[in-house]
Structure 1
Amino acid sequence: MKRTVEILGIPFYNVSQNAFVDELMDAAVNKKRKFIVTANPEIVMHAQQDLEFNQVIRQADYIVADGIGVVKAAKSIGKPLKGRVTGYDTMLGLLEKANEMKLRVYFIGAKPNVIEKLVEHVNVKYSNIQIVGARDGYFAAFESEAIAEDILRSQADFVFLALGFPRQEKWISAYLEKFEKGVFMGVGGSFDVLSGCTKRAPSFWVKFNLEWLYRILSQPSRWKRALAIPRFMLAMKKQRRQG
């Protein structure tokens, strides 16, 4: 049975980064179907307000802590998590192992120039991976059915969606029942980083869990999104008092 820690009503899977990659690889090799949500405080707070999104992420096989705020929140209630499990690092780990086993990967999301550079990068660095589909995230709702059918035909082992939340999770939830196999995961802005179009936070910022601050300083337009962090902290304070 999966061990979870509940944070503001969201059950987080308590697993280390490396163990999680191994678990998902086992699922892919055995042709199982999995839906993963990587959640930070912003996503947790959005789930408090968007009932549909809340129900969507609860359908996931795994919700993992992509955010130091979630890890600290778990520790504050005496139920520590093993650490962060980020969408970016999970995707990298899976690509490395998929390369070793020559598995099939489908990419959806980001801007046209980003997805083009992503494919170029993957073809060079992970040359054994079979890229069975790659398209940008600028598609209309009526095109989704055709995309799902294409994924089905491709027999993809991994489907990574960089559509941003809540769109990527809602898309997966809407079409998941079509598939008998495949690991489906929303990865936010990870294509931009992996393609080289956006720099990931330098190691100093990562070491001290300040990637969120680096992103705000690099992209000031994100400051409104950062307001979710103090709201999350206040909500956690309330949960501790009640609990």
Structure 2
Amino acid sequence: MKGRFQMVDIKETVSIMDIDFLKVTKNELMKEMLLPALVNGERRFIVTANPEIVMKARQDASYRQAVQRADYTIADGIGIVKAADWKGEPLPERIAGYDVMRNLLQIAEEKGYSCFFLGAAEEVNERAVQEVKRLHPNLKIAGRHHGFFELKDDTVLEQVKTANPDMVFVALGLPRQENWIAKHLDQFEKGLFMGVGGSFDVLAGEVKRAPGIWIKLNLEWAYRALRQPARILRLMTVFHFMFLARFKK
């Protein structure tokens, strides 16, 4: 696309434990913020934050600083939406990071933008990219790299920089993915950088996403816990977040 795109600067946010969440719908985020940034060749950092990310940021000052560097922080978790309701500053909806990634891949294929896939195990990363190619045969794949590397390893950084992608999807899990982006963001002139957690596992077929009815009822977290019993311990963090958000002012 030629020319510059008029940005619609939506700045209204709600602060939840020192993390500012955008009061936007997914449609507004895509059309009024991310697409214009792509068209204008700008650099943006997107955090899709759930209660676990907020609690980690609450406990870890360096991680909190990394998350606070984000240009756009969106509510990827019904717990965040509930916390905003309790503050009397409601968010319009939950915005699933996986859905944002899928929308961005569609835009990239249609508009000719390139994508880099960083993270997960080598075989998972490879299968995820193969699935992306199947779903989006005309997508430009700038490159890929597994997630088993030290954050201080600049060879991975140089690989991403050389690829010069328009979008970088970082599946390193928290806190590594936000820390990696925050540490290296200034070394790029353009690009959307987004932590996507376990999204490569879903694309690769390692993890099955919840059926639509579970998502519609805001019970995706429960479905994941039932499918992956190891996640039940992580629910304790979510319950702690909900307690603090409801009763600690």
Bin for the TM-score computed over the shorter chain: over 0.9
Amino acid at match of 1:25: L
Residue of structure 2 in register with 1:178 after alignment: 187
Residue of structure 1 in register with 2:204 after alignment: 195
Residue of structure 1 in register with 2:114 after alignment: 104
Residue of structure 1 in register with 2:138 after alignment: 128
Per the TM alignment, residue 196 of structure 1 is displaced from its structure 2 partner at its CA by: 2.1
Aligned counterpart in structure 1 of residue 55 of structure 2, from 45, 51, 60 = 45
Residue of structure 2 in register with 1:91 after alignment: 101
Gaps of 5+ in 1: none
Q: Deviations over 1:77-124 (max 9, x none)?
A: 111101111210100000011110121100001111111111211112
Would you say 1:152 and 2:161 are equivalent positions? yes
Residue of structure 1 in register with 2:237 after alignment: 228
Counterpart-to-counterpart distance in 2, 1:68 and 1:141: 30
Q: Please, what TM-score do these two structures have when normalized by structure 1?
A: 0.95
Q: Check conservation: 1:8, 1:235, Cα contact below 8 A.
A: no
Amino acid at match of 2:237: A
Amino acid at match of 1:204: I
Per the TM alignment, residue 68 of structure 1 is displaced from its structure 2 partner at its CA by: 0.5
Q: Check conservation: 1:99, 1:126, Cα contact below 8 A.
A: yes
Counterpart-to-counterpart distance in 2, 1:131 and 1:74: 37
Counterpart-to-counterpart distance in 1, 2:97 and 2:246: 26
Amino acid at match of 1:164: G
Would you say 1:117 and 2:117 are equivalent positions? no
- SS of corresponding position for 1:63: strand
Q: Check conservation: 1:3, 1:13, Cα contact below 8 A.
A: yes
Would you say 1:31 and 2:41 are equivalent positions? yes
Amino acid at match of 2:193: F
Root-mean-square deviation (CA, aligned residues, Å) is 1.2
Task: Tell me which moved more, 228-237 or 84-93.
Answer: 228-237
Residue of structure 1 in register with 2:79 after alignment: 69
Counterpart-to-counterpart distance in 2, 1:16 and 1:27: 17
Moved >3 Å (runs of 4+): none
Per the TM alignment, residue 130 of structure 1 is displaced from its structure 2 partner at its CA by: 0.8
Counterpart-to-counterpart distance in 2, 1:26 and 1:196: 32
Tell me the percent identity: 47
Residue of structure 2 in register with 1:207 after alignment: 216
Residue of structure 1 in register with 2:13 after alignment: 4
Amino acid at match of 1:127: P
Counterpart-to-counterpart distance in 2, 1:152 and 1:5: 34
Amino acid at match of 2:199: S
